[in-house]
Amino acid sequence: MFQFEIPEIDYTRYSNRQLAAVPLAVLAAALLVIAGWWVLTGAPANLGIVFTGGTEAHLATSGDVTAGAVAETVGGDATVRGVQSTGDGREYIVTSKLEETGDLRDRLDDAGYEILSLQSRSASFGGSSQFTALLGVIAAFVGMSVLVFALFRTFVPSLAVVISAFSDMVIPIAVMNLLGVDLSLGTVAALLMLIGYSVDSDILLNNHILRRRGGFYESTYRAMQTGVTMTLTSLAAMAVMAVTAWLFAIPLLPQIGLVLVVGLSVDLMNTYMLNLSLLRWYTHKGVAR
């Protein structure tokens, strides 16, 4: 029977600065990407039409019509992505920043495509959705921070959890920008899920080190056995979901899976390098001061 063994890392070979340098460098690079994106596009991420307003059409084609041919028919700033198809034809979702549906409908009708659904969202509705999503993320993050500080009642260990959670959210957003993944309600939900995953593994590590008996490295290894197994299990499940959804052209799930896979991978780095270095500094030097 297959057994998954968590390797015991010799942390004594590395200083706190060496452990924290890599995750902080990755976080700084992610912040630079987001800042640059904001300067170039006016937004920190690729906003989907639910946040900007626009039109989305679900259409079916007969024969072997490619996404490029559909995009050429629609023209403008429209994006086309395939979805799961049945029969001999193919199905695509066309997204346009234009709020008027008439012109898009005429072009699709003239090309002989069957329109299965057509919906538009106004820019004002998109602005309202942006505010609601931002409020939800801020409320979740502030609530998490208050809970963590109330739980540990010490500054450094609590700050370590909050910084790790912040990095777990920021780095996937930068990756989304580079890969052209839109920020939608689905990917926002994935980012909110990352807060839960991040806090879960960080609190497990902090609790083992600060509240249980045993040496620092012994407690760290016990926490890693549980925490790494939990995170890798979730990461594998999300990777399978993303690949399967991509192969079968299921909308939205590949993007959600990608965000979670990147976020969970980053969480391993932040928890067992950044958080651990701050905890070791706190337990070995910070408490003694």
Q: What is the DSSP string of 228-239?
A: HHHHHHHHHHHH
pLDDT of residue 61: 82
pLDDT in tens, 39-95: 998 888 888 878 887 788 888 887 777 778 888 877 767 778 777 666 667 788 888
pLDDT of residue 37: 93
Whether the Cβ atoms of residue 253 and residue 245 lie closer than 8 Å to each other: yes
Same domain, 103 and 214: no
Residues 6+ positions from 231 with CB-CB distance below 8 Å: 197, 201, 264, 267, 268, 271
Residue 273, in any domain of the structure: yes
Q: What is the arrangement of strands in the sheet containing 114-121, beginning at the earlier edge strand? A: 79-83, 90-96, 54-61, 114-121
Amino acid at 221: Y
Residue 2, in any domain of the structure: no
pLDDT of residue 13: 92
Q: Where are the alpha helices (DSSP H) in 153-184?
A: 155-179
Same domain, 21 and 69: no
Same domain, 156 and 252: yes
Same domain, 248 and 264: yes
pTM of the model: 0.83
Whether the Cβ atoms of residue 57 and residue 120 lie closer than 8 Å to each other: no
Q: Provide the number of structural domains found in the chain.
A: 2
Q: Give, for 116, the enclosing helix (H) or strand (E).
A: strand 114-121
Same domain, 106 and 205: no
Same domain, 221 and 102: no
Positions in the chain short of pLDDT 70: 1-4, 76, 84-88, 98-100, 286-289
Task: Please give the residue range of the domain that contains residue 97.
Answer: 54-121
**Residue 14: exposure state from Cβ atoms within 10 A (0-12, 13-18, ≥19):** middle
Same domain, 44 and 77: no
Residue 5, in any domain of the structure: no
Residue where a domain stops, chosen among 94, 121, 148: 121
pLDDT of residue 86: 61
